[in-house]
Structure 1
Amino acid sequence: MVKKINHIAVIVDDIEKALVPYQKGLGLTPSNIEYVESYNVKVVFVPIGDTQIELVQPLGDEGELVEFLRATGGGLHHIAIEVEDINRAIHHAASSGILLKDMTPRPGAHNSSVAFAERESFDGVVIEFVQPPK
């Protein structure tokens, strides 16, 4: 069911500015910046080996990610676990007592399907289930 860590997400207030240390300081090459309508965010992925760092810039004036940015100034937000079948992962998690924000997958970056678990279920860590496009 679980394949690997897909990415680690960092919330930022300016995605272009946040990319600079990854590009210039670490010499990494990011993906193209993408708008994800279902979450009203801009995202960019920075590959590192077999995983990625996702920089997420919330847009608009409200929402959970905007509140997170205001409260913390940004930073580590979630760990994304890649799964083979997101519907099965959601069902298994829910039947195991995991609290979920999403009982139905939503569209994510790169045409993936995603669903989030509540941070209370993982000792304060937000876990995202990600199924890449087939």
Structure 2
Amino acid sequence: MKATHIEHIGIAVSNLDAAIDFYEDKLGLKCYRVEEVQDQKVKTAFFMVGQTKLELLESTSPEGPIGKFIEKRGEGLHHLAFAVEDLQENLDELSEKGVRLIDETPRLGAEGLQIAFVHPKSTFGVLTELCEKQDEK
């Protein structure tokens, strides 16, 4: 597998509006996009910090992955996302190397990216997301 760069850092929050206000008013960042990803039961907000994005994630349902995460662990760092080329090839390679995957095949994520998650039990406790721009294929 070859990651090209850190695509984003995901942070789970209970109140997206309050978190956006904090990042804009206190840290001086600018939210450039808010988006709901219905099948993942999440609403996201994005900020650029240099070449890296921050993605704030608020659950739209207590049964969604972010809702469950916050109930179990509280707010905070949720995942680290790497940009890759040919996501499916990377997933196949990781699987062949015995890495535990959450997603065997890519699915649609925020900002139109194809995404897949690697299980934190294979990545030293860090939920890891792999992302590919659809237009790269």
Which residue number corresponds to residue 22 of structure 2? 21
The CA distance in 2 between the partners of 1:132 and 1:23, in whole Å, is 27
Q: Say whether the 8 Å CA contact 1:38–1:108 is kept in structure 2.
A: no
Which residue number corresponds to residue 128 of structure 1? 129
Q: Say whether the 8 Å CA contact 2:40–2:65 is kept in structure 1.
A: no
Q: Say whether the 8 Å CA contact 1:38–1:106 is kept in structure 2.
A: no
Which residue number corresponds to residue 44 of structure 1? 45
The CA distance in 2 between the partners of 1:56 and 1:50, in whole Å, is 20
Aligned-pair identity in percent equals: 33
Q: TM-score of the superposition, structure 2-length normalised? A: 0.93
The CA distance in 1 between the partners of 2:64 and 2:109, in whole Å, is 16
Q: CA deviation at 1:26?
A: 1.6
Note the alpha carbon deviations across 1:67-99, whole angstroms, 9 max, x for none: 111122211010001001111111111111110
Find runs of 4+ consecutive structure 1 residues off by over 2 angstroms.
Answer: none
Gaps of 5+ in 2: none
Q: TM-score of the superposition, structure 1-length normalised? A: 0.95
| Two-structure CA RMSD over aligned residues (Å) | 1.0
Which residue number corresponds to residue 63 of structure 1? 64
The CA distance in 2 between the partners of 1:87 and 1:37, in whole Å, is 23
Gaps of 5+ in 1: none
Q: Say whether the 8 Å CA contact 1:38–1:107 is kept in structure 2.
A: no
Q: Say whether the 8 Å CA contact 2:45–2:57 is kept in structure 1.
A: yes
Q: CA deviation at 1:61?
A: 2.4
Q: CA deviation at 1:16?
A: 0.8
Which residue number corresponds to residue 107 of structure 1? 108
Q: CA deviation at 1:63?
A: 3.2
* Amino acid aligned to 1:127: T
* Amino acid aligned to 1:81: F
The CA distance in 2 between the partners of 1:38 and 1:83, in whole Å, is 23
Aligned residue-pair number: 134
Q: Say whether the 8 Å CA contact 1:22–1:28 is kept in structure 2.
A: yes
